């Protein structure tokens, strides 16, 4: 009986999401000519978003640390239909590179419609290693790395949004934040990621309601992202016990990018990819003992 009820909940959730996506008022033409800054575009979801925005006829400015990859992505974006495509090579963990990014957007476009925060810096490798080793916080108390990780994956998001707010206010613009299921529920071995993603959800959720309270038409979408089949994520999961079995649950990169762009264009409060993240994100609303049972037995 319990499994039947759980199945019904999942089914109803999927139907609800299907209905939402069918009637969210999304108009791809609304993105044509829009100015977009996307961080973290040398690979994965960020690279794919650059291509998706290009196909929709947007004007894009992308960032990453690897200039050679940025040149390749910009060239492809132009070939796919981007009205303009520019890049800033830099480390978003550095204040001056954040400032340079927004200043470049102002100089190139004169306005900003979408700020898409997606970067992760050079921290993905060490974090992946901790997860695949099932390494707990107390087994590696590297506070210097922790401070750097939070700076790149949370503080720099806040800094970029703060720098961009004047432009976004002028254009009634939108901020899309690359969050995670790890910012909605707790997982063992994810202490670093949980700090950053819960922090992003808290800050940008508060910013969203502040904009509403003060009648400023700048909106925010928090993307609750689960397992997506990026090259880095697939490599990490394959190293986990029974990791191969998890691959079937991964969302395709192109569909993930489309969902994020669509959520931003319709000014959705949150979007969930894959769809199971919607249900899992509600775990913290359960009684404490049940939440702990679920988390410890995933």
What pLDDT, in 10s, does the model give residues 60-109? 999 999 999 999 999 999 999 999 999 999 999 999 999 999 999 999 99
Residue 4's pLDDT is 47
pTM for the model stands at 0.87
H helices of the chain, in order, are: 2-22, 44-55, 67-80, 95-109, 124-132, 143-150, 156-171, 191-213, 231-238, 243-246, 253-265, 276-280, 288-296
Q: Tell me the C-alpha distance between 135 and 127, whole Å.
A: 10
Residue 232 three-state SS: helix
Other beta carbons within 10 Å of 144: 7
Q: Tell me the C-alpha distance between 290 and 296, whole Å.
A: 10
What pLDDT, in 10s, does the model give residues 192-211? 888 999 999 999 999 999 99
Whether residue 111 contacts residue 71, with contact meaning beta carbons closer than 8 Å, is answered with no
What pLDDT, in 10s, does the model give residues 153-203? 999 999 999 999 999 999 999 999 999 998 998 888 888 888 999 999 999
Angle between helices 67-80 and 44-55 (to 10 degrees): 30
The separation between the first and the last C-alpha atoms of the chain, rounded to the nearest angstrom, is: 20
More confident: 24 or 56:
56
The answer to whether residue 10 scores a pLDDT higher than 60 is no
The DSSP call for residue 217 is: -
């Amino acid at each position: 009986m319990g499994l039947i009820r759980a199945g019904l909940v999942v089914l109803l959730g999927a139907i609800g999401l299907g209905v939402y996506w069918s009637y969210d008022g999304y108009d791809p033409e609304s993105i044509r000519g829009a100015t977009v800054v996307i961080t973290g575009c040398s690979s994965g979801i960020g690279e794919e978003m650059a291509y998706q925005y290009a196909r929709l006829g947007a004007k894009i400015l992308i960032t990453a640390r690897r200039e050679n990859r940025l040149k390749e992505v910009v060239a492809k974006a132009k070939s796919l239909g981007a009205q303009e495509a520019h890049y800033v090579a830099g480390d978003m963990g550095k204040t001056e590179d954040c400032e340079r990014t927004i200043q470049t957007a102002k100089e190139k476009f004169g306005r900003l419609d979408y700020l898409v925060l997606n970067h992760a810096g050079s921290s993905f490798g060490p974090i992946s290693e901790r997860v695949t080793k099932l390494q707990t916080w107390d087994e590696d108390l590297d506070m210097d790395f922790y401070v750097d990780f939070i700076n790149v994956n949370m503080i720099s998001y806040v800094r970029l949004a703060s720098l961009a707010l004047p432009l976004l206010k002028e254009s009634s613009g939108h901020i899309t934040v690359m969050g995670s299921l790890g910012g909605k529920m707790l997982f063992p071995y994810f202490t670093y990621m949980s700090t950053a993603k819960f922090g992003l959800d808290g800050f940008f959720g508060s910013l969203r309601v502040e904009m509403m309270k003060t009648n400023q038409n700048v909106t925010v979408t928090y993307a609750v992202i689960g397992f997506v089949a990026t090259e880095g994520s697939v490599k990490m999961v394959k190293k986990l016990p029974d990791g191969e079995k998890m691959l079937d649950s991964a969302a395709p990169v192109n569909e993930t990018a489309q969902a994020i762009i669509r959520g931003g264009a319709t000014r959705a409060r949150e979007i969930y990819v894959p769809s199971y993240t919607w249900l899992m994100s509600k775990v913290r609303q359960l009684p404490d003992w049940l939440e702990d049972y679920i988390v410890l037995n995933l």
